[in-house]
Amino acid sequence: TAGQALDLAAQFSALPAALANDFSPNLDAVGTLGGTAQVTGSPSAPEVRFNAQLAGVETSQTRQAGLGPLAVDAAGSYTMAGGVVLDHATLSGDKISGKAAGTINPNGASDFAVDLTSSGPSLPLTFGSAASPVKIEIQSLSAKVAGEITQARVDVSAILPSVTTSPAKVDGLVLALHSDAFDLKSRAGPVSGTVSVDKVGLDNATIAPLIAGKVTAALNALLTSDAVAIDSGSLKSDALNSQVAG
């Protein structure tokens, strides 16, 4: 009944990750899952504590990214009112490592941070189509989210040694973005940020001289799901020092 107290415990070892494929046919997961779980509280408001380890995990998405087998170690809790609280979560592999901790609460305030770092000089990833690929090398990526999901404080930083598209190649990109009130549900809100690149390679004889050498940019903008309105911004290089808006 709804008034009964829960007191359940489970221990599992070497469960195949492929069981998840029944719920997500395109996942194509392999690997094993082990750990413990404890459920207390009431049926209408359960409290779950978990400690889980994934070993040798691969999915169709991680294979496409070329990440190789991954290991995950996570511990935390879940309640309907408070969401997920991660005491710790670590990711390790031959090409990438990471850590995360904090609270993710879709119904209230969150306070969550995640950091990813390449295990080598950089992690190469490819996005886009075969006809128009976007190749990115990631050295590090960090994100922090705090506050209500519809008005969150967000900070994102990244170091990308190389970004290559069909018309251009950028070397030594460093990015930092911030918002005091970003709506994560609608992916909209005010954003400020800075970008610097050591070198831009562009096959355009008119524009290339203007962006020779180190290039830096700063902006204050309003981001929506389908547009960016720049309130103010600047673009500087060895040959250029301009202000932008619109």
pLDDT tens column, 66-104: 899 999 999 999 999 999 999 999 999 999 999 999 999
**pLDDT over threshold 60, residue 2:** no
The counts of H helices and E strands in the chain are 1, 17
pLDDT at 120 (0 to 100): 80
Q: Given a cut of 70, is residue 115 above it in pLDDT?
A: yes
pLDDT of residue 1: 41
Q: Residues 37-51: pLDDT tens digits?
A: 999 999 999 999 999
Band of residue 246 on the pLDDT scale cut at 50, 70, 90: low
Q: What is the pTM assigned to this prediction?
A: 0.84
Among 32-46, 174-188, 201-215, 228-242, whose mean pLDDT is lowest? 201-215
Task: Say how far apart CA 230 and CA 240 lie, in whole Å.
Answer: 19
Strands (E), 119-206: 123-128, 133-138, 140-148, 152-164, 168-182, 189-197, 199-202
Q: How does the average pLDDT of the chain come out, rounded? A: 92
Q: Among 52, 70, 53, which residue's Cα sits nearest to residue 61?
A: 70
